[in-house]
Amino acid sequence: MMDTKKQLQGFGDSKFTVAVYIEKRPPMVPWQTLNFLHAMQAGEINSINQACGNGWRKVFNVYAKVLFALPSEHFKFAKQACDWQTFRDDLLLQTNSRTALLFSPPLLNEGNQLHIIAGRTHAKKLIQSGLLNSPLTWLDDEFAISKSDKVIVCPYFDYRQLSNIKIARLSQLVADVLA
């Protein structure tokens, strides 16, 4: 069996249980050519926020909010910090966080992992290019699931697109996929 972890490109823990896939990288020199999984260090998320502005701040904030909303019978993120902001600042995408934010295509069937693709457009590009071969069932214009592969497509990680109400729906879909 080949070591697929080397193919992962993005931020996070190599032992992730939740991976979010987004299309674009932060527009900073060290991240534009990143070709491996980089465990974030304390302060790196804030550094990206400072350099790249509100769009990336939203991605990290929404990711932490999503983790805190996931069903507690499957995930313990909400028990690791007093609130989602503390989790974002102290744990998100770091070693032992069990989280990843990936720019590479999903590698499915790698264990007990949940795969969340942020954005319908990104998911459709992955499908059209043959980089995502998962039997997705589209529930509406924004959400799709594959229970067999533990894949969920949801709106992009932005406050307007993935509002608190839609985060709650995503959490319910996670429970359904893992049931």
The pLDDT score that the predictor gives to residue 32 is 87
**Residues 58-110: pLDDT tens digits?**
999 999 999 999 998 989 999 999 999 999 999 999 999 999 999 999 988 76
Q: Which one, of 70, 92, 79, lies nearest residue 154 by Cα?
A: 70
Give φ, ψ of 12 to 5 degrees: 140, -170
Q: What is the pLDDT of residues 24-39, one digit of tens each?
A: 999 888 888 889 999 9
Per-residue pLDDT, 75: 93
Domain total in the chain: 1
Positions of E strands within the chain: 10-12, 18-21, 37-38, 99-102, 114-118, 137-138, 144-146, 151-154
Domain that holds residue 49: 4-178
pTM of the model: 0.93
